[in-house]
Amino acid sequence: MAPRFSPLSPAKAVETAGGGLSSTWTWAAVIALTALIVGTWLTVDHRRRDRLAQWLQPGYDTASETRILLDRLSLSTAVEGLTAELGGLVDVVSKLRIAEQRSPKLPFGVIVAELEAYQANLLPPDYAAKLAVDDTLLDAYLDLARMQGVRLEAARAAIVVVQGMIEKRTRR
């Protein structure tokens, strides 16, 4: 006798031969696979952001420390050799340079440049005695004091920008 062919369509023949996978199982498998892929991606993304946050945290902390120091310096005019916070400013500038090397895409260099310009505008230690002798120096000393204020505000603005960039990159 000759073999008989089934009148079933090829799709039904495959379904019958394969054990009868229904469309419900197929959709459940697709949803499960999608959930697995999305979960894996979220885990990898969170780990990447955590590593980035740990990498950028020292620079963020240094910027915060600098902001606090600048707030103290803004209370009075800085005089070379007499203002106590100037020693801390040297340390902070060194830390900011390290942060700049660690993260060259962030503008830590702008903060460093503003702080160095601030240090260039310090009043001389004997400015009061010189002013008592020659009152024509008053305009020069007032200009130095004004430039100190301008540089402090420019450094504060640069700190806000850098911290905003870090927060944007590490936002969850």
Consecutive 10-residue runs of the chain (172 residues): their mean pLDDT? 55 52 81 93 90 92 95 89 87 95 94 94 86 85 92 96 93 68
Whether 72 and 85 have beta carbons less than 8 Å apart is answered as: yes
Whether 111 and 158 have beta carbons less than 8 Å apart is answered as: yes
Query: Cβ–Cβ contacts within 10 Å for residue 53, how many?
Result: 16
pTM of the model: 0.74
Tell me, what's the pLDDT at 3?
A: 57
Long-range contacts of 51-56 (CB under 8 A, 24+ apart): 52/169, 52/170, 53/170, 55/102, 55/103, 56/103, 56/106, 56/166, 56/169, 56/170
Tell me, what's the pLDDT at 133?
A: 85
Tell me, what's the pLDDT at 25?
A: 81
Question: What's at 41, amino acid-wise?
Answer: W
